[in-house]
């Protein structure tokens, strides 16, 4: 009995492995371009202290709104701070927030969805109702409410968005896992007496994994835009810490004085990063759809 089960599991794993190798080549050129772009952005964030020519908060009031020069490759902001250094350091806050949001909401959403599918019945219905109720609360609004209570800053916003994004992941994973659960191989495993937890984690999860990764990627883009928006309106990352969204906000003063560099450079980095993330997410989704 147990040998058959292992054999079944092994072939399953091998099939999944083959699928995965075929799949990676399936994200196409755009997918690879996106990965390279994101790699560059992440490297910039990780190596920010090494790459930055100046400290991100080194103020030089006599050198405000300088253009591009040898000392300041991208010029300076209203306080004479080096824009390039601030953009490098700003990428850290801009990326770490969405990363945490996606990590927490994906984990919670997946666990909820798998539990709902596995136990079914009233528990499933309860999860569906709760998820729907949370879905009715726009994420940005929940984040604003949280900053009203716990004070402006990244932590409150990240916690609120993590909660707000759970339904998005949970709904998609639940419907895919539900299809998977009704397939004959699950019944076969059950008949063989394989533990439910093992089926859920060892069989259902790997088979919907591609979908989870694709949607976590897309959620990263949304979270980056939401958090940058919060920092932009002054409720997220607080000065003097540099952040892309906050830089667009402080750059507004420069925009009106014909010095739009700060706002435009930070905007461009946000758009490039979110664009790359979306491109990758789209390719991963297509790959998942082609697979199933």
CA distances from 135 to 27, 35, 50 (A): 30, 30, 42
Q: Which of 186, 214, 235, 246 binds other proteins (CB under 8 A)?
A: 235
When the beta carbons of 137 and 185 are compared against other proteins, the nearer one is 137
**What's the closest the beta carbon of residue 291 comes to other proteins, in angstroms?**
16
**What's the closest the beta carbon of residue 119 comes to other proteins, in angstroms?**
15
Instruction: Kindly state whether residue 253 participates in binding other proteins, applying the rule CB under 8 A.
Output: no
Spell 26-60 as b/e; 16+ CB within 10 A means b.
bbeeebeebeebbeebeebbeebeeebebebeeee
Ordered DSSP codes for the chain: -HHHHHHHHHHHHHHHHHHHHHHHGGGHHHHHHHHHHHHHHHHHHHTHHHH-SS-TT---GGGTT--S-SS-TT-B-TT--BHHHHHHHHHHHHHHHHHHHHHHHHHHHHHHHHHHHHH-HHHHHHHHHHHHHHHTS-HHHHHHHHHHHH-SSHHHHHHHHHHHHHHHHHHHHHHHHHHHHTSHHHHHHHHTT--HHHHIIIIIHHHHHHHHHHHHHHHHHHHHHHHHHHHHTTSSSPTTS--HHHHHHHHHHHHHTT--HHHHHHHHHHHHHHHHHHHHHHHHHHHHHHH-
Q: Which of 31, 267, 287, 288 binds other proteins (CB under 8 A)?
A: 267
Instruction: Kindly state whether residue 236 participates in binding other proteins, applying the rule CB under 8 A.
Output: no
Question: Residue 172's CB: how many other CB atoms inside 10 A?
Answer: 20
**What's the closest the beta carbon of residue 191 comes to other proteins, in angstroms?**
27
When the beta carbons of 5 and 104 are compared against other proteins, the nearer one is 104
Q: Identify residues 93-152 at the interface with other proteins (CB under 8 A).
A: 125, 128, 132-133, 135-141, 144-145, 147-150, 152
Residues linked to residue 76 through DSSP beta bridges, in sequence order:
82
**What's the closest the beta carbon of residue 151 comes to other proteins, in angstroms?**
9
When the beta carbons of 189 and 283 are compared against other proteins, the nearer one is 283
**What's the closest the beta carbon of residue 124 comes to other proteins, in angstroms?**
8
> Where does this chain touch other proteins (CB under 8 A) — which range of 59-67, 96-104, 199-207, 266-274?
266-274
Instruction: Kindly state whether residue 162 participates in binding other proteins, applying the rule CB under 8 A.
Output: no
When the beta carbons of 54 and 175 are compared against other proteins, the nearer one is 175
**What's the closest the beta carbon of residue 228 comes to other proteins, in angstroms?**
6
**What's the closest the beta carbon of residue 205 comes to other proteins, in angstroms?**
19
Number of residues in contact with other proteins, rule: CB under 8 A?
A: 54
Instruction: Kindly state whether residue 171 participates in binding other proteins, applying the rule CB under 8 A.
Output: yes
Which residues of the chain form contacts with other proteins (CB under 8 A)?
125, 128, 132-133, 135-141, 144-145, 147-150, 152, 168, 171-172, 175, 221-223, 225-226, 228-229, 232-235, 245, 248-249, 251-252, 255-256, 258, 260, 263-264, 267, 270-272, 274-275, 277-279, 282
């Amino acid at each position: 009995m147990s040998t058959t089960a292992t054999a079944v599991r092994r072939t399953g794993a091998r099939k999944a492995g083959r699928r995965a190798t075929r799949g990676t080549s399936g994200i196409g050129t755009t997918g690879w371009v996106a990965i390279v772009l994101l790699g560059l952005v992440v490297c910039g964030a990780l190596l920010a202290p090494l790459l930055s020519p100046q400290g991100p908060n080194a103020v030089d009031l006599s050198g405000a709104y300088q253009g591009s020069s040898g000392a300041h490759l991208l010029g300076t902001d209203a306080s004479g701070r080096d824009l390039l250094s601030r953009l490098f350091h700003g990428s850290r806050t801009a990326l770490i927030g969405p990363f945490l949001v996606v990590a927490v909401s994906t984990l919670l959403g997946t666990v909820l969805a798998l539990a709902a599918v596995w136990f079914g019945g009233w528990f499933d219905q309860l999860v569906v109702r709760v998820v729907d109720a949370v879905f009715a609360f726009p994420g940005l609004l929940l984040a604003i409410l949280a900053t009203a209570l716990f004070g402006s800053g990244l932590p409150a916003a990240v916690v609120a968005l993590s909660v707000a994004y759970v339904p998005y992941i949970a709904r998609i994973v639940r419907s895919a896992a539900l299809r998977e659960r009704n397939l004959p191989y699950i019944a076969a495993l059950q008949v063989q007496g394989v533990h439910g937890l093992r089926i859920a984690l060892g069989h259902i999860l790997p088979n919907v994994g591609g979908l989870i990764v694709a949607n976590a990627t897309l959620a990263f883009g949304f979270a980056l835009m939401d958090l940058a928006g919060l920092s932009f309106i002054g409720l997220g990352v607080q000065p003097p810490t540099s952040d892309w969204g906050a830089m667009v906000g402080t750059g507004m003063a420069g925009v009106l004085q014909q010095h739009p560099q700060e706002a435009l450079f930070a905007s461009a980095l946000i758009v490039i990063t979110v664009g790359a993330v979306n491109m990758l997410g789209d390719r991963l989704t297509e790959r998942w759809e082609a697979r199933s």
